Amino acid sequence: MTAATLTIARALRRAKTLEGRVAELTKRLSSTTTWREDAPPAFEFEATLKEHDAAVEELLQLRTGVARANATATLEFEGRTMCLTEAIRRQAELKGRLTLFAGFSLRAGVERVHVGYDERHRPSYEEVAHTAVWSEPERANKLEELRARLESLNEALETANHGTVVRMTTVEG
């Protein structure tokens, strides 16, 4: 066994490349399981399977190394020290909160609503007053605050990702 090191950022880039490679090899494997005897497949099954398995193993090792690094490395955010795993979860929650707040219906004011028909079959209307928890400007301010917090957290995570070493153990075989 030999130990290799790289940063979280580089490991994530490599993992993305490997994910694409695994998908490509999976597709290739599917096309090499059966063929006409007079038209052999373009790729040899066993060699492709071996390459696929090696890529999957490297991807598993990378993901495990990143998970280990995320659990032990820390960053500062809003006056708190937290592990990267918590920061990543907070990042997801902030994104979800942004989506939630942006999707709120904030009707305010009086609206004329159709309520049916009178005895002469004419449309009947009623005025309904709506009150919202926030005005549109208040929502805009809250969204801007959330975006600023998210940007701050993103910067802290990016800095940590570029400076945190992922310890990898590879098996030579």
H helix or E strand, kind and range, residue 98 = helix 84-103
Q: What is the DSSP letter of 78?
A: T
Q: Angle formed by the axes of helices 45-72 and 84-103, to 10°?
A: 90
The length of the chain, given as a count of residues: 173
- pLDDT (tens place) for every residue of the chain, 173 residues total: 445 679 999 999 999 999 999 999 999 999 999 998 999 889 999 999 999 999 999 999 999 999 999 999 999 999 999 999 999 999 999 999 999 999 999 988 999 999 999 999 999 999 999 999 999 999 999 999 999 999 999 999 999 999 999 998 765 54
Q: How far is residue 68's CA from residue 70's CA, in Å, rounded to a whole number?
A: 5
Within 13 A of 107's CA, how many CA atoms are on the CB side?
Answer: 6
Using CA atoms of 27, 30, 31, 37 in order, give the dihedral in degrees to the nearest 10: 160
